[in-house]
C-alpha cells in the first residue's frame, strides 16, 4: 500500500516540478485574529478590493501584528501534483469500484509560515487577484534561500505531510510562483472539486425514520461498557465499546505534529486503536486532527457505517461580519477525498447529515443508551457570560455530539460550543465530560454544580500554539465539580460506564 501510493504521488520530489496548492483557513488563528482586528481586515478575501485599500489594510495589520497572539499565522494548503490527479481518477471509473485494494484515502498537505510579513502580504494580494482559486508552486527541500527568477510571489517555510499509511513528513519550503496562462485540463477536476462530489444525498430531518432504521438494523446492543479517549496529541479519537465486544469510533483523529507523534504514549495509542474493527464511525466534523488517524486504522474501518456532517455545506461558508465580505474555505482536499472514497465504496453505509437538520437528537437507541445529536451552523462569539473573548465558528458548531448512558453517563462534544448544543443535552448530568474543542476559550457550561465524583477529560497536544487548554475553561469545569484529567502522559483514559 505505502509503496503504491508513494510511487504514484511522489510527495517529496525535490526537482522543483510544478504543483498546485489550495489555501484553506486554520480555524484557530483566524478566530483569534478576528478578535483583535477590525472588520476591514476581512476584505483580504474580497475579489473587488482595490489595491490602495488592500495596502492600507495590510499596513494596519503589520503595525498591529506584534500584539496579536499566534503571529505569524500558520497557513494550510492541500497539495496537488500529477500523482494526485492519476490516483484520484479512480473516482471517475465505476468499473474500479471492486478493484481498489491498492487505494485508500490519503493526505497530502503543507503547513507553514511565510518567511516575512512582506511575503504574507504579497501572498494575500496575489490571492485576491487569482482567477484559479489555487497557487502554482514548487517544493524545495534544499537550503537555498535566494532564487534567480522574477516570478516568485512568496516563500513559505513548513512541513509536507503525506499519508496513506504510515504518515511521512519532511521539512521544506513551498515556493509560490505566478500562474501560467493556462492549466492542463487533466488537473481541473481536482482543482474545481468536481472529482470529489458525492452521489450520496444528505439526510435531513424528514429522513429520520429511514436513518434510525438503518442503524437499528445493525442489531447492535447499544448498552455502552466504556469509552476510551486516546492520547492522539492535538486531536480527538474515542472508541466506544458496546456489549458483545462491538466498537464505535467517535472521530478517528491524530495530531499533525511529528514531535507529538513520536511520543511513546501516542505511539502506544496508535498501536491500540489500529486493531479495532468498528461497526460505526461517527465524525464530529472534518478538521484534519479529527480524521488523520485513518492513516493507521484497521482497513475494515471503510466497511463500517459512517455518520458524518455534510462537508459540502461548509464549502459554502461565508464569514458573517457586519460587511459580509469574507469567503472562507475550512475544508482540506484530504477531507474531501476521504468522504468521496466512502461515497465511492458506499453500500448504503454512508449517512451524510444535512445542515438543515439542526440542534436536535438525530438518533436515539433503545432506552436512550446512546444518542447522537447535532449542533447548529452558527458562530458563537463571547456569549453566555464568558469572561474572555472567543469565537467558535459555525464549521465546528455544525458538528455531531454523542451522549452515552449506563451506570454512568458521558458527554462527547467534539468541537461544538456548549451554548450551541441542543438544550435537551443538559437535562441530565454527566460523570464524564470530554472538554469541547480541546478545552479552548468557551462560554459557561450549562450544568449545575455537583459534589459527586466527576471527571473532565482534556485532549490536546503539547505543541499547540492556540492556548489550549484555556484556564477559564478549566476553572469552569472545576467550579461545577469536575476533576481535571488530561490525556498527556497516558496512552488513553478509560471511562467505565
pLDDT tens track for 52-105: 555 555 565 666 555 555 556 788 999 999 999 999 999 988 776 555 567 889
pLDDT of the residue at 60: 59
pLDDT of the residue at 285: 92
Which pTM value belongs to this model? Answer: 0.90
Query: Stretch 276-297: mean pLDDT, rounded?
Result: 95
pLDDT of the residue at 75: 86
Query: Stretch 459-481: mean pLDDT, rounded?
Result: 88
Residue predicted with more confidence, 319 or 262: 262
pLDDT of 40 > 60? The answer is: no
pLDDT of the residue at 64: 57
What's the per-residue H, E or C state across the chain? Answer: CHHHHHHHHCCCCCCCCCEEEEEECCHHHHHHHHCCCCHHHHHHHCCCCCHHHHHHHHHHHHHHHHHCCCCCCCEEEEEECHHHHHHHHHHHCHHHCCCCCCCCCCEEEEEEEECCHHHHHHHHHHHHHCCCCCEEEEEECCCCCCCCCCCEEEEEEEEEEEECCCEEEEEEEEEEECCCCCCCHHHHHHHCCHHHCCCCCCECHHHHHHHHHHHHCCCCCCCEEEEEEECCCCCCEEEEEECCCCEEEEEECCCCCHHHHCCHHHHHHHHHHCCCCCCEEECCCCCHHHCHHHHCCCHHHHHCEEEEECHHHHCCCEECCCCCCEECCCCCHHHHHHHHHHHHHCCCCEEEECCCCCCEEEEECHHHCEEEEECCCCCEECCCCCCCCCEECHHHHCCEEEEEECCCEEEECCCCCHHHCCHHHHHCCCCEEECHHHHCCCCCCCCCCCCCCEEEEECCCCCCCCCCCCHHHHHHHHHCCEEEEECCCCCEEEEEC
pLDDT of the residue at 322: 39
pLDDT of the residue at 35: 56
Query: Stretch 374-390: mean pLDDT, rounded?
Result: 68
pLDDT of the residue at 281: 98
pLDDT tens column, 323-375: 333 445 668 999 999 999 999 988 789 999 998 898 899 999 988 899 999 99
- Extents of the domains making up the chain: 2-26+74-194, 205-496
pLDDT of 3 > 80? The answer is: no
pLDDT of the residue at 174: 94
As a whole-number percent, the residues of the chain with pLDDT over 90 amount to 54
pLDDT of the residue at 121: 74
What's the rounded Cα separation, in Å, for the pair 307 and 5? 27
pLDDT of the residue at 148: 79
Q: In what order do the strands lie in the sheet with 432-434?
A: 360-364, 370-374, 400-405, 409-412, 432-434, 454-458, 482-486
Query: Stretch 370-384: mean pLDDT, rounded?
Result: 79
pLDDT band at 318 (very low <50, low <70, confident <90, very high): very low
pLDDT of the residue at 116: 75
pLDDT of the residue at 321: 36
pLDDT of the residue at 98: 55
- Please, how many CA atoms are within 13 Å of residue 478, restricted to the half-sphere of its CB? 8
Handedness of CA 373, 349, 165, 85 (dihedral sign): negative
pLDDT tens column, 139-176: 999 988 778 788 888 899 999 999 988 899 999 999 99
pLDDT of the residue at 443: 82
Looking at CATH, the fold of the domain delimited by 205-496 is given as Metallo-beta-lactamase; Chain A (3.60.15)
- Scan for cell 444535512, then name that residue: 354
Amino acid at each position: 500500500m505505502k509503496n503504491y501510493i508513494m510511487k504514484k504521488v511522489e510527495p517529496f520530489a525535490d526537482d522543483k516540478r510544478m504543483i498546485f496548492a489550495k489555501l484553506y483557513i486554520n480555524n484557530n488563528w483566524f478566530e483569534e485574529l478576528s478578535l483583535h482586528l477590525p472588520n476591514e481586515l476581512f476584505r483580504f478575501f474580497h475579489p473587488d478590493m482595490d489595491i490602495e485599500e488592500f495596502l492600507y489594510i495590510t499596513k494596519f495589520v503589520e503595525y498591529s501584528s506584534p500584539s496579536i497572539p499566534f503571529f505569524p499565522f500558520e497557513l494550510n494548503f492541500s497539495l496537488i501534483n500529477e500523482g494526485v490527479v492519476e490516483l484520484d481518477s479512480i473516482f471517475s471509473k465505476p468499473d474500479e469500484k471492486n478493484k481498489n485494494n491498492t487505494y485508500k484515502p490519503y493526505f497530502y498537505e503543507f503547513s507553514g509560515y511565510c518567511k516575512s510579513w512582506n511575503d504574507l502580504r504579497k501572498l494575500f494580494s496575489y490571492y485576491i487577484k487569482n482567477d484559479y482559486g489555487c497557487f502554482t508552486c514548487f517544493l524545495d527541500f534544499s537550503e537555498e534561500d535566494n532564487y534567480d527568477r522574477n516570478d516568485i510571489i512568496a516563500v513559505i517555510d513548513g512541513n509536507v505531510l503525506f499519508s496513506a499509511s504510515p504518515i511521512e513528513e519532511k521539512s521544506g519550503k513551498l515556493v509560490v510562483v505566478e500562474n501560467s496562462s493556462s492549466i492542463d485540463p487533466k488537473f481541473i477536476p481536482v482543482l474545481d472539486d468536481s472529482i470529489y462530489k458525492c452521489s450520496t444525498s444528505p439526510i435531513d430531518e424528514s429522513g429520520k425514520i429511514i436513518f434510525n432504521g438503518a442503524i437499528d438494523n445493525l442489531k447492535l446492543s447499544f448498552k455502552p461498557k466504556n469509552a476510551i479517549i486516546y492520547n492522539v496529541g492535538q486531536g480527538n479519537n474515542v472508541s466506544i465499546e458496546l456489549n458483545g465486544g462491538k466498537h464505535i469510533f467517535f472521530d478517528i483523529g491524530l495530531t499533525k505534529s511529528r514531535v507529538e507523534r513520536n511520543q511513546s504514549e501516542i505511539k502506544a495509542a496508535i498501536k491500540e486503536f489500529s486493531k479495532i474493527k468498528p461497526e460505526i464511525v461517527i465524525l464530529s466534523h472534518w478538521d484534519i486532527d479529527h480524521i488523520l488517524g485513518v492513516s493507521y486504522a484497521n482497513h475494515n474501518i471503510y466497511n463500517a457505517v459512517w455518520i458524518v456532517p455534510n462537508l459540502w455545506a461548509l464549502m459554502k461558508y461565508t464569514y458573517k461580519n457586519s460587511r459580509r465580505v469574507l469567503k472562507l474555505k475550512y475544508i482540506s482536499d484530504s477531507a474531501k477525498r476521504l468522504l468521496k472514497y466512502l461515497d465511492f465504496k458506499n453500500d448504503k453505509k454512508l449517512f451524510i447529515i444535512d445542515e438543515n437538520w439542526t440542534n436536535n437528537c438525530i438518533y436515539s437507541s433503545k432506552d436512550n443508551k446512546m444518542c447522537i445529536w447535532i449542533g447548529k451552523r452558527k458562530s458563537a462569539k463571547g456569549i453566555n457570560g464568558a469572561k474572555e473573548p472567543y469565537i467558535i465558528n459555525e464549521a465546528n458548531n455544525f458538528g455531531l455530539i454523542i451522549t452515552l448512558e449506563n451506570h454512568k453517563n458521558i458527554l462527547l462534544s467534539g468541537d461544538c460550543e456548549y451554548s450551541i448544543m441542543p438544550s435537551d443535552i443538559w437535562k441530565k448530568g454527566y460523570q464524564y465530560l470530554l472538554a469541547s474543542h480541546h478545552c479552548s476559550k468557551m462560554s459557561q457550561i450549562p450544568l449545575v454544580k455537583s459534589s459527586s465524583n466527576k471527571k473532565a477529560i482534556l485532549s490536546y497536544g503539547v505543541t499547540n500554539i492556540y492556548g489550549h487548554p484555556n484556564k477559564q475553561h478549566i476553572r469552569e469545569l472545576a467550579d461545577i465539580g469536575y476533576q481535571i484529567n488530561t490525556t498527556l502522559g497516558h496512552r488513553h483514559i478509560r471511562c467505565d460506564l
